[in-house]
Amino acid sequence: MRKSGLSMDDLARHLGLSRATVSFALNGRTDVRISEATRARVVAAARELGYRPHAGAQSLAAQRTDLIGFVTDIPASPFGGGIIHGAQAAAWRRHKLLLIVSSEGDPEIEATGVEMLLDRRVEGLVYATQMHRVATLPAAVEAVPTVLVHCTSDRPGAVSVLPDEVEGGYAATRRLLAAGHRRIGLVNLAAGLPASTGRRSGYERALTEAGLELEPALVRQGDATATTGYDLAARLLDLADPPTGLFCATDRMAMGAYDAAKERGLRIPEDVAVVGFDNQEIVAAYLRPALTTVALPFAEMGVAAVEMLAATAAGERVLDRTLTGRLVERASV
Amino acid sequence: MRKSGLSMDDLARHLGLSRATVSFALNGRTDVRISEATRARVVAAARELGYRPHAGAQSLAAQRTDLIGFVTDIPASPFGGGIIHGAQAAAWRRHKLLLIVSSEGDPEIEATGVEMLLDRRVEGLVYATQMHRVATLPAAVEAVPTVLVHCTSDRPGAVSVLPDEVEGGYAATRRLLAAGHRRIGLVNLAAGLPASTGRRSGYERALTEAGLELEPALVRQGDATATTGYDLAARLLDLADPPTGLFCATDRMAMGAYDAAKERGLRIPEDVAVVGFDNQEIVAAYLRPALTTVALPFAEMGVAAVEMLAATAAGERVLDRTLTGRLVERASV
DNA sequence: GCGCATAACTAAAACGCTTAAACGCACCGG
DNA sequence: CCGGTGCGTTTAAGCGTTTTAGTTATGCGC
């Protein structure tokens, strides 16, 4: 067995001080007076002997765990990984650790996970989804302040941080307009999804602002796959008066659109310009030519979630937040 | 403030029992005798009153945290997400929770993260990388049993679980051979990487076994991008006697190879068959035609890591493990 | 030389559980 | 009626911290 680490008691005894003094010194507390000399001596001894505070015991005594629960269906996917990272960074800044439960979308894992998190006495819960959707939270989350990321819920008191889909659609379309395109097709997601509705209204706003007529024939929708992207783009490009710019609501769909264009001998961006959405590196950056696309502000969303949790804990009243993404310029426009 | 949950003490008092009895009953201990009636009464009351054990206090008292540290550069990427999921599943099976630190490859985050994990008294550490490589572990990991996943280290005592690259390369090449191809090109990763070396020797073994001559001209290498994949594949296809089958060491490279083939008017798989490696859903499944590729056994690797940690804790001597992936058949052969 | 701040530190009670050891009691054989 | 044996439960000692409420010295004014 490895030398099992010394306790604060050991350290205090070694220094001929009381546990209390050591605790005060180590925590650098200013509301209690410890001579500078003693403080330094304690800190030095702690470092030298490799003393490690026992976070669990601290939690028990101090009545706070510094733990934030993070439940998500993200990790195994390329979507929204930034949320975790942003959340972790924000948590660390507050000396808190993220306790992550990766549900892979399985409600049972989710429920069990939340239970485990509550047993660990997490101070708050972040519930993040990879797709912008309406989520059904396990009932147990009631027990603790919760912030939803990338999703909403009808559960009262649950606050969300969401990407600004409208602004994203607007930015994408504006980019095509700026490149001189006047007939712009929209390869959209299936109707009803927040992402679909939002991106479309951004698209429409941009066109309207540019003084263009909205043509229903230029808007198609389907699921988020490359195959569907191919089909929808093909139909648009086969129109008598085809668009010269394509806004695809998903990088995956853009991937399909590339194929449709190439099959027709159309060069990107010379003959048809394409803007995607999601900035999935693996697709966007490696498509040929590389895809200009809209990146959702995932990291910022993660940060916001943790900050909102902190604000809630501090007794502030917290409201939903919407964060805007940014256009990533590459070579497809 | 929310009703802050009742303690085991409260529960015991409510039942007119001692804390010890409640503890025994709730933990279903068989080494101590509690009447069935009492046990049932306790469990019922606990459920009814919504009693939640305080995991932190349990850890302190029982001298085990049931926490496993998981340090990785994976989450924000599409690679190896399965490792986390497998590890989590295996951990849960043992009533342990994963404490994940997402380093994004930043050594400073990694070091701080490990410190935090040690403060939480994790019982072991899993260190997982998204790329098969040699890792430099923060010094602090010495303090605790550690298992490396998808990487190796020179640090003594650190055990690894690795994918069988050779077997993967062998399977991919065999698939092409089975389809009748006799001239098979290898679009490989840069030399020196374990993935590159392994996949290549699998490729060579398959060819040799099939009684074919190894032709150095059919093997090209470069970095893992689609662009490089395009370049290397193009050179192979422009050979006087071009290969009819292409084994790409990466799905991304296969993505580039597709472009090279299409540009030359070659149909996949009729004119040239392609097998990838990695099974990155987003690329492999949505490429047209969908890519046949080798999937690394990530989930199993995660499971293995946690099991090895458990074995170590149980005092067993643990050795490196190698797990083999599987061929995912789609439409490119 | 006394009373009093003040600075520096200590004692001890939590925090919510686990667990080894002790306890009381009913039952049994003799 | 007595000693032993199990069974069901309790007592109490931790686990490693934090924190409240002290307790000692020391210096200072008068």
Determine what percent of chain B is predicted with pLDDT higher than 70.
97
- What pLDDT is attached to residue B257? 97
* SS3 category, A328: strand
Closest Cβ opposite residue A119 in set B53, B82, B282: B53
Tell me the CA distances in angstroms from B97 to A115, A266, B62, B122, B172, one per residue in order.
Answer: 12, 53, 16, 10, 36
Whole-angstrom distance, CA of residue B102 vs CA of residue A52: 22
Helix (H) or strand (E) holding A156: none
- From the CA of A33, how many Å to the C1' of C6? 11
Which of A81, A116, A121 lies nearest to residue B77, judging by beta carbons?
A81
Query: Phi and psi (nearest 5°) for A182?
Result: -120, -20
Residue contact A60–B60, C-beta within 8 A: yes
CB distance A88–B74 less than 8 Å? no
Q: List bases, strand D, within 7 Å of protein CB.
A: 7-12, 14-21
Instruction: Give the confidence band of B78 by pLDDT, cuts at 50, 70, 90.
Output: low
- Nucleotides on chain C that have an atom closer than 7 A to a protein CB are 7-21
Rounded to whole angstroms, how far apart are CA atoms A242 and A233?
A: 10
Among A73, A286, A301, A330, the strongest candidate for a mutation testing the B interface, having the largest count of B CBs within 10 A, is A286
Q: What integer best gives the mean pLDDT of chain A? A: 93
- For CATH 1.10.260.40, the residue range(s) in chain B are 8-53
pLDDT band at B225 (very low <50, low <70, confident <90, very high): confident
Residue B155, pLDDT > 90, answer no
Tell me what pLDDT residue B197 has.
97
Q: Which residue's CA lies closest to nucleotide D20 at its C1' atom?
A: A20
pLDDT of residue B59: 95
Residues B165-216: pLDDT tens digits? 999 999 999 999 999 999 999 999 999 999 999 999 999 999 999 999 999 9
Q: Which is higher by pLDDT, A275 or B280?
A: A275
Determine whether domain B8-53 maps to CATH 3.40.50.300: no
Provide, as residue numbers in chain B, all residues whose Cβ is less than 8 Å from the Cβ of A234.
none
A214 CA to D29 C1' in angstroms comes to 90
Note the pLDDT of residue A76: 59
Show residues of chain B in contact with A118, CB under 8 Å: 52
The alpha carbon of residue B38 is apart from the nearest alpha carbon of chain A, in Å, by 24
Parallel, antiparallel or unpaired: strands A326-328 and B159-163:
unpaired
List b or e across B60-85, with b for residues whose CB sees 16 or more CB atoms inside 10 angstroms.
beeeebbbbbbbbbbbbbbbbbbbbb
Kindly report the nearest CA distance between residue A213 and chain B, in angstroms: 34
CATH 3.40.50.2300 domain range(s) in chain B: 67-164+298-324, 165-295
- State the pLDDT at residue A75: 65
Judge whether residue B55 contacts strand C, using its CB and a 7 Å cut-off.
no
What is the distance in angstroms measured between the alpha-carbon CA of B64 and the sugar C1' of C25? 36
Q: Based on C-alpha coordinates, what's the Rg of chain B?
A: 26
Non-local CB neighbours of A188 within 8 Å, separated by 6+ positions: A196, A199, A200, A219, A220, A221, A222, A249
A119 touches strand C (CB under 7 A): no
Nearest residue (CA) to C1' of D9: B21
CA distances from B216 to A31, B185, B227 (A): 74, 9, 22
Measured between alpha carbons, how far is B87 from B101 in angstroms, rounded to an integer?
14
Closest-CA residue of chain B to A130: B76
Beta strands in B176-223 (DSSP E): 184-189, 219-222
**N- to C-terminal Cα separation, chain A:** 63
With a 7 Å cutoff on the CB, does B38 touch strand C? no
Contacts of A142 in chain B (CB under 8 A): none
Which residue of B lies nearest to A78 if distances are taken between CA atoms?
B78
Q: What is the pLDDT of residue B56?
A: 95
Q: What pLDDT is stored for residue B77 in this prediction? A: 64
Residue in A closest to B76 by C-alpha: A81
| Kind and range of the H or E run holding A305 | helix A298-313
Helix runs in A217-263, H state only: 226-237, 251-263
Nearest nucleotide over every DNA/RNA strand to the A21 CA, judged by C1': C9
Q: In three state form, how does the secondary structure of B114-137 look? A: HHHHHHCCCCEEEEEEEEEEECCC
- The pLDDT value given to residue A133: 87
Which tens digit of pLDDT belongs to each residue from B254-278? 999 999 999 999 999 999 999 999 9
Mean pLDDT of B312-330: 95
DSSP B278: S
Token output for A275: 């803007």
- Residues of A within 8 A of B227 (CB-CB) are 286, 288
Cβ contacts (< 8 Å) between B101 and chain A: which residues?
88
pLDDT in tens, B287-305: 889 999 999 999 999 999 9
Question: What pTM was computed for the model?
Answer: 0.92
Which residues in chain A show pLDDT less than 50?
A: 1-3
Using CA atoms, how far residue B224 sits from A208, B189, B191, B255, B260, in Å, is 43, 6, 11, 11, 16
Mean pLDDT of B145-167: 93
Superfamily of domain A165-295: Response regulator (3.40.50.2300)
Query: Would you state the CATH architecture of domain B67-164+298-324?
Result: 3-Layer(aba) Sandwich (3.40)
- CATH 3.40.50.2300 region(s) of chain A? 67-163+298-323, 165-295
pLDDT at B1 (0 to 100): 34
Closest residue by Cα to residue A323 from A331, A302, A315, A333? A302
Instruction: Tokens for B304, please give them.
Output: 């293995």
Instruction: Name the class of domain A67-163+298-323.
Output: alpha beta
